[in-house]
Structure 1
Amino acid sequence: MATVLNFSGKTPSQRMCLKPMAGPAISSMAIKRTCQFEQNKRDALQHCIYVKRKAENKQLNDHRLFPVMAAVQRSSGIYPSSPSPSDTIKKFYKCINEKNLKQLGDYISEDCYIEECSFNTPLQGKKEVMNFFEQLITGMGQNVKFCIQRVCEGDELIGAANWHMEWKDKQIPYTRGCSFFEFSKKGEKIILKKAQIVIESPIKPGTVVLSLLKTVTALFDGFPKTTDWFLKSPHIVFQWLWKIYTILFAPIVDSYLRLWSLAARLLSYAYYIVLYIAKFFFK
């Protein structure tokens, strides 16, 4: 505020001269700028949060979408599936049922080893194994097929199958079996390296087996040294038993078998005669 004196003879008067008040104006501008800065800061922070959430949502959607797309691609055949033991086992028995020896040979390795419980010695080598399967396929005829019930697989290219044989979709008694397979890789496919085949026995001794087991274990426990020698070299004992059999029992058994062979031949002739007569009268 300023005071002006007038000496012109008039009553002195006071005039108010209003000048800009610099202090409050500067403070107001500073406050406005501070508020604007805080607003810009909040806007920038909100924008950063928005961008971050958008990126997280996109990443989450990508993770959710990938398994679905992968499943679709696998199902549509975009990704080629590698052969598995279970698939190879199914194809293996399919070749047997279709009597396709050429394709069956592609699944057998050169050093294949098969333990078939119906044989005294294992089958070794591809040639011997293929000869066995050729005889098997010939013996199956046109109507007998393998029916796979269950197939399972484990680690390191190992698989197993539970099966039985059928004639025109009807199960044949005493033909249930279980096969255990060990495979090896050959390029992009897997081939049979080793197998163990267990077939159901038509003889059902029942509790006799348990009684026999009890007797044998009692003998083993009573003569441990002899048992240890026997288990280390059982072939020697069987060789001596075979010699005793050939000397004492073989002639009797051979004559008995020849008699049964003759009886079976006569029965087969009688069967064919009856079948021929039945066809003649029941056309």
Structure 2
Amino acid sequence: MIVISFVAEWNGKIIPFTKGCSIYMCSAKGEALLIRKVHILNESPLKPGKMALEILQFVAILFDTLPKEAEAFLQNPEALVRPIMKLYKFCMEPFVVYLLAYYIRLWSFVAQGLTMVLSVLYNIFKWFM
């Protein structure tokens, strides 16, 4: 395995988001060295920044404060979502279904109206041509 790190520079200054690393998986075939697989990892332009570190620090403090709950969460992370899903099904789902039905019906009427307007315009243009 060969690892090469790289960065692009201009006039001695590093160009942002040009850092990266290339990993080459090689195998020998006689005296020749053949590249079997290449992974190129580039620096991400999206950085989590300070807020992500603060969230991770909060989670670490929370895990230290509540070790039993943290252990249970790490064993079954879906358990945290279950109460939220129950709350959604009880409070939100009935309204969301009706809102979606209304939304679909509204756009159906809009589509019918546009079809009628375009049909009238087509017939007017056809009459004058």
TM range (shorter): 0.3 to 0.5
Tell me the TM-score normalised to structure 1 length. 0.23
Larger radius of gyration: 1
Q: Which has the higher strand share?
A: 2
